Chains A and B, each alone.
Chain A
Amino acid sequence: MTATALKTHSLSAYYGDFLAVADVSMTIDQRSITALIGPSGCGKSTFLRTLNRMHEVIPHARVTGEITLAGENLYDPGVDPVLVRQRIGMVFQRPNPFPTMSIRDNVLAGVKLQRSRLPRSEADDVVEQSLRSANLWIEVRDRLGKPGAGLSGGQQQRLCIARAIAVQPDILLMDEPCSALDPISTLAIEELMLELKSTYTVVIVTHNMQQAARVSDKTGFFNLAAVREPGRLVEYADTTTMFSKPKKKETADYIAGRFG
């Protein structure tokens, strides 16, 4: 029996009056990779963004329901979203290193901006550890002072992962982290995810079913009944079960490529 990292209870996400994701209850296991799949517009990215309270950054966006992290409801009125995001990091679809910063400063950005002072030796350790964990250290150790935006797309994405894990979150959310990358960089990121799950809980949104099958332990399938209808969690099970004998016909159809 694996421990629970995060639990959502009848979670719904809105954009203004539009209900984008309805009534999702799921349990995310600790130190595992959970993949969220589904056709475009089914709300899987929106759902992911509710997990670290990034959804509400968008004007008029709001959330109902509960998410519990270690017994605490993230949507409790007293909870500071800034502190939630320090514990639940996020990697985005497009690599977005800070353009004004060097590789080193990009890795340190989260740590430095959260608290003001960091001794140099400690900072050096954080940079090396994070870049090593992101499998980027060997490629960039000679040019840490160079701008982060000068790296290739795949390297930039690994830099963003290094930046996210430098603040030592418990959970790492990845919103289609490979969709802007070539196959070789994708492979590098997938290998990285498998290494990361020994330390972190990873939740990944992906369009790529093969990717979900390759890396994840559990898979959740989101779908929507029709356009303008809310997305729902249709089925959630072990990845092997999902891809071999899904319970619902909808899931089987999607996995077999009959729609989506």
Chain B
Amino acid sequence: MKLLVAVKQVAVLDEDFEIRADGRDVHADFLLRDLNEWDDYSLEEAMKIKEAGAAPVEVVVVCVGAAEADESLRKCLAKGADRAIRVWDEAIEGSDSIAVARLLAAVARREKPDMLFAGVQSSDHAFASTGIATAAFLDWPHAAVLTHLAYTAGGKSAVFRRELEGGELHEMQIECPAVLTIQLGINTPRYASLRSIKQAAAKPIEVLSLEDLNVAPGDVGERGSLSRVRRMYVPDKGRAEMIEGSVEEQAARLAQIIKELAGSAS
């Protein structure tokens, strides 16, 4: 049994960041890297299935990213993933989530897992597309925003609940193998101690190129994407009227606002 978990190393903006000269992205110096928060949950879900099953289950993590993504993959290995795969080629630069999905689908064809998990979205750009696009390329059944999953490795179907607007849950059943995107809160992700991360450095990370995956350069990068970044800029944000003064003064003004408005409300 094999579970494939797609993870992303996201970028967080550092203080006082600057936009790059070409205006299409933030200057690399101001990008801090970390594992996508959603992927903690999707990996944990895979680990739970692995640990619950009687038969051995291999958990493989895959990431499309440059060498710095190894750090996030190490974290996944430290948490118990058996193998890690990283896909990179210069031509991949500038890919949108659909182009990335094309690569993930190629990895899935190569690995032949029983299920593919991804996060609902990434904490940096939140496209919320990669997982489902991968399913499209594989033509696999798919579902998004799972907050509950009942599945045994190798099973023919799974029952899950997706979380709707307003908090309502929709229970559905899906044929497997399938692609599922996992939502925050579905489980409690385990902690990877620094020691285990250090020990995970011994586990190898397989690096695949476009050739290894039989993907043409034209299918990735800008040419392989369904959108293109024209311009990135810092928007003028609306600003609240700040109430200044001592705590007493601020609270007094706040009380005044409440009495004015809530009086008519309640």
Whether chains A and B associate is no
